[in-house]
Amino acid sequence: PKSGLLVDEVDSNAARAGMKRGDLLTSIDGRAVAGVADFDRAVATLKEGKPVMLKVRRGTTEQSIKLKP
């Protein structure tokens, strides 16, 4: 199975973009996310006010989700 970070909580912005509790977050703006440390590093590089591309795995399906500020 692919590694990633299990999504436990989804804020309203992420929910509107299509993210759901139980998704497996695998990348943020092209940076692989295998755990909390990767997540923290990827988030630290984000620019405020810019859209963010997320890749998530839901079951056997991989999806791209664009989060807008």
User: What Å distances lie between residue 43 and 1, 47, 53, CA to CA?
Assistant: 24, 9, 12
Confidence band of 20 (pLDDT split at 50, 70, 90): very high
pLDDT digits (tens, 9 = 90+) for 28-48: 999 999 999 999 999 999 999
pLDDT (mean) for 57-64: 94
Of the candidates 69, 28, 29, the one whose C-alpha atom is nearest the C-alpha of residue 48 is 69
Per DSSP, 29 falls in state: T
Global pTM reads 0.89
Would you state the structure tokens that stand for residue 4, as one six-digit string? 């990633």
pLDDT of residue 1: 52
